[in-house]
């Protein structure tokens, strides 16, 4: 059976926010008194996008490639996770056409950092900046996200067959 010309994947990630933890989103340091807690650098945006890429390619999730039980992944730069996801899709003959993500958090405020985040993601993935969408929203004070206890991201990716 011939592989489809286009494939879409979705990704989701969520982390608790911890006082004193560095906040990195899309590879950009965001000044904040709290940051996502996790085994790697906990870049929830990169993790969701990586899962969207891997899902579009029909591959397993980032936990398979970068298990939180692996000491080598401790403190890992999540831009490396993105690079690996893109490389895995490319091995199958697919190229990223665009990504889009929505960051859901009451804090930190992200509007002043969106342009830098888009540049970082586009550079890392080797795609034009206008093929990267990043939005920030709140959870309107509802549940733990709305109480400022966590940060979540929904992401989608479109791949196109190139070989």
Q: What fold characterizes domain 6-161?
A: 60s Ribosomal Protein L30; Chain: A; (3.30.1330)
Q: Which two tokens stand for residue 123?
A: 């550079």
Q: What is the pLDDT of residue 71?
A: 85
Cα maximum dimension of the chain: 52
- Residue-by-residue pLDDT tens, the chain, 163 positions: 677 799 999 999 999 999 999 999 999 999 999 999 998 899 999 999 999 999 999 999 999 999 888 888 888 899 999 999 999 999 999 999 999 999 999 999 999 999 999 999 999 999 999 999 999 999 989 899 988 999 999 999 999 999 7
Helix, strand, coil percentages in the chain from 3-state DSSP, rounded to 5:
35, 30, 35
pLDDT in the model for residue 73: 82
Is residue 144 exposed (0-12), middle (13-18) or buried (19+ Cβ within 10 Å)? middle
Residue ranges of domains in the chain: 6-161
C-alpha to C-alpha distance for 32 and 67, rounded to whole angstroms? 27
pLDDT computed for residue 1 by the predictor:
63
């Amino acid at each position: 059976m011939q592989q489809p010309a286009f494939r879409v994947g979705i990704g989701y990630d969520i982390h608790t926010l911890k006082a004193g933890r560095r906040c990195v989103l899309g590879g950009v340091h965001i000044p904040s008194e709290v940051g996502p807690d996790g085994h790697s650098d906990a870049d929830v945006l990169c993790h969701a996008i990586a899962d969207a890429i891997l899902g579009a390619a029909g591959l397993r999730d980032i936990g398979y490639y970068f298990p939180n039980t692996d000491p080598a992944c401790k403190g890992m730069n999540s831009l490396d996770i993105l690079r690996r996801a893109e490389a895995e899709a490319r091995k199958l003959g697919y190229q990223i056409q665009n990504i889009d993500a929505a960051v859901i958090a009451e804090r930190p405020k992200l509007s002043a950092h969106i342009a830098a985040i888009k540049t970082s993601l586009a550079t890392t993935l080797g795609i034009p900046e206008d093929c990267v969408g990043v939005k920030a929203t709140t959870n309107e004070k509802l549940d733990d996200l709305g109480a400022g206890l966590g940060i979540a991201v929904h992401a989608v990716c479109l791949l196109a067959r190139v070989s």
